[in-house]
A and B are shown apart, each in its own frame.
Chain A
Amino acid sequence: MAKTILAVDDSSSLRQMVAFSLKAAGYQVVEAVDGQDGLEKAKGQTVDLVLTDQNMPRMDGLQLIKHLRELPSYQKVPILMLTTESSDEMKAKGRAAGANGWLVKPFDPQRLIEVVKKVIG
């Protein structure tokens, strides 16, 4: 059965590109428009990987990660940030919040698929 990825980003064009890339590699993709929507969708179903932006309205990426890590079912689910942010300070915050990796935009579809395969197979 295809693995499911939750893609969280307030940019619809970005979500479209992520979904296009990952679906082409055989993954199922659930989209969320911000951290709040991402948290609700994550609670509603089990996903194998969360890919989240940082700067979003209502709830940003770091807050989403902190909330997800409080859920028993999301203690071990890999969470990757996909964001324009590239500072060491932000990466350290992401790591401290519970992120497993940091991808700086723009992403290359082939490299994204390689990283996802490495993390969840």
Chain B
Amino acid sequence: MTRKKILGSHVKRLLSGVSDHGRRHLTEVETDLIQTNLLLEEAIEKLSRNFMAIHETVSAQQTAIDALLAGATPSAEQKEQLSALSDQVGMYVNAAVTSMQFQDMTSQLIDRTLKRVTGLREFLGTLGAHGAEMVPESDNDEIVELLGKVSMALAIQSLELRSVLRKAVSQKHLESGDIELF
């Protein structure tokens, strides 16, 4: 291979590597942010709904209690309804507890996104630092050597970044998860 071709090959590999690395990670950032948004939207919607339901149920309970305090004698049907209200509140509270766990999941997704953004910034920093080492008077061999070092440094950083970015949160909805006893 001629010197020109070797240089061209290194430049091509470096540009392609930077582009692939950047695109892959930014696609994952986009995916994680969309997932975070879905979980947040669902959490807020469910919490709002359960809050209103709890409020209505507690108001109904209070109305019944006020009537009892005023000396009214509840009918069998009213006694049954009053008893059921307590179960209803419990049900809405349980649903709210499930929804409130959105903070744990979205926090993990955001942490992953931040690590990725930091990793990308460091990656571009390495690129810039090596670029600064290059002097305009460098001959082809020196440039080839430098590009080789840059490619190697970026490949190592890319692997290191991937190793800290395991996806632990696959949930896209706040329905309660599976339970398995071994």
B72 at the interface (CB under 8 A from A): no
Measured between beta carbons, the chain B residues less than 8 angstroms from A115 are: 179, 181
A13 at the interface (CB under 8 A from B): yes
Known: A54-B168, A109-B98. A11 touches B104 (CB 8 A): yes
B154 at the interface (CB under 8 A from A): no
Q: When the two chains form their complex, are residues B104 and A84 in contact, meaning their CB atoms are under 8 A apart?
A: yes
Q: When the two chains form their complex, are residues B97 and A55 in contact, meaning their CB atoms are under 8 A apart?
A: no
Q: When the two chains form their complex, are residues A86 and B178 in contact, meaning their CB atoms are under 8 A apart?
A: yes
B94 at the interface (CB under 8 A from A): yes
Q: When the two chains form their complex, are residues A86 and B177 in contact, meaning their CB atoms are under 8 A apart?
A: yes
Closest to A98 in B: B182
B101 at the interface (CB under 8 A from A): yes
Q: When the two chains form their complex, are residues B180 and A84 in contact, meaning their CB atoms are under 8 A apart?
A: no
Q: When the two chains form their complex, are residues B179 and A102 in contact, meaning their CB atoms are under 8 A apart?
A: yes
Q: When the two chains form their complex, are residues A108 and B168 in contact, meaning their CB atoms are under 8 A apart?
A: no
Q: When the two chains form their complex, are residues B101 and A107 in contact, meaning their CB atoms are under 8 A apart?
A: yes
Q: When the two chains form their complex, are residues B108 and A106 in contact, meaning their CB atoms are under 8 A apart?
A: no
Q: When the two chains form their complex, are residues B171 and A106 in contact, meaning their CB atoms are under 8 A apart?
A: yes
Number of interface residues of B (CB under 8 A): 26
Query: Considering the chains assembled together, what is the distance between the CA atoms of A109 and B98 in angstroms?
Result: 7
Number of interface residues of A (CB under 8 A): 31
A48 at the interface (CB under 8 A from B): no
Query: Considering the chains assembled together, what is the distance between the CA atoms of A83 and B168 in angstroms?
Result: 9
A39 at the interface (CB under 8 A from B): no
Q: When the two chains form their complex, are residues A108 and B100 in contact, meaning their CB atoms are under 8 A apart?
A: no
Task: Say what secondary structure dominates the interface of chain A.
Answer: mixed
Query: Considering the chains assembled together, what is the distance between the CA atoms of A110 and B105 in angstroms?
Result: 20
Which of A9, A84, A118, A119 contacts B169, CB < 8 Å? A84
Measured between beta carbons, the chain A residues less than 8 angstroms from B140 are: none
Query: Considering the chains assembled together, what is the distance between the CA atoms of A95 and B93 in angstroms?
Result: 32
Q: When the two chains form their complex, are residues B170 and A111 in contact, meaning their CB atoms are under 8 A apart?
A: no
A105 at the interface (CB under 8 A from B): yes
Q: When the two chains form their complex, are residues A109 and B171 in contact, meaning their CB atoms are under 8 A apart?
A: no
Q: Which stretch from A14-22, A28-36, A64-72 is at the chain B interface?
A: A14-22
Query: Considering the chains assembled together, what is the distance between the CA atoms of A100 and B182 in angstroms?
Result: 5
Measured between beta carbons, the chain A residues less than 8 angstroms from B101 are: 13-14, 17, 105-107
Give chain B nearest CB distance to A106 CB in angstroms.
Answer: 4
B85 at the interface (CB under 8 A from A): no
B118 at the interface (CB under 8 A from A): no
Closest to A119 in B: B181
Type the 1/0 row for B12-23, where 1 means its CB is closer than 8 Å to any CB of A: 000000000000
Query: Considering the chains assembled together, what is the distance between the CA atoms of A55 and B104 in angstroms?
Result: 11
